[in-house]
Amino acid sequence: MRKSGLLNPELARVITAMGHTDTLVVADAGLPIPESVERIDLALLPGVPGFIQTTQAILAELQVESALVAEEIKAKNPKALAGLSKLLGNIPLAFVPHEEFKALTRDAACVARTGECSPYANVILVAGVIF
């Protein structure tokens, strides 16, 4: 058994296999997930695990060079945006319309579905390099 870090074997596998510019989506419980993209369903109960908690765990394991969220998060979920911005620190954050965001998920290595039940609590993390 792993002593620390991500315990979910599917999520750990995907992160280990990711290369520069590959993307991973952390999604709320309602984001539509394309059939062609691997789904890692972490949802247990409404709100469990949450968007911020899940993103924090992934950021501890994945080198991220940038992130994207739906423009609508600014008005519809400023609390999630504030929490995400705090987690990202100096990592650049871009905004795109939600329809474009959903289209971009088609190219993701995976979508990690959380139990988050607040609107637009989704982020696309773009893998960076450690050197």
Tell me the pLDDT band of 110, cut-offs 50, 70 and 90: very high
For the chain, which residues make up each domain, given as ranges?
21-127
Tell me the pLDDT band of 88, cut-offs 50, 70 and 90: very high
Residue 113 has pLDDT above 90, yes or no: yes
**Tell me, what's the pLDDT at 2?**
79
The tens digit of pLDDT for each residue in 25-58 reads 999 999 999 999 999 999 999 999 999 999 999 9
Q: What is the pTM of this model?
A: 0.97
**Tell me, what's the pLDDT at 10?**
97
**Tell me, what's the pLDDT at 1?**
76
Distance from the Cα of residue 123 to its chain's centroid: 4
**Tell me, what's the pLDDT at 3?**
82
Residue 20 annotated among the catalytic residues of the structure? yes
Question: Which residues face 94 on adjacent strands?
Answer: 68
The tens digit of pLDDT for each residue in 117-126 reads 999 999 999 9
| Mean of pLDDT values over 104-116 | 98
Active-site residue, from 16, 17, 20, 75: 20
| Mean of pLDDT values over 6-34 | 97
Distances from the Cα of 62 to the Cα of 13, 74, 95, 111, angstroms: 11, 25, 21, 14
Query: Secondary structure of 75-126 in the HEC alphabet?
Result: HHCHHHHHHHHHHHCCCCEEEECHHHHHHHHHHCCEEEECCCCCCCCCEEEE
What's the CATH code, domain 21-127? Answer: 3.40.1650.10
Distances from the Cα of 96 to the Cα of 24, 34, 67, 114, angstroms: 16, 18, 11, 21
Q: Is the dihedral of CA 106, 97, 25, 92 positive or negative?
A: positive
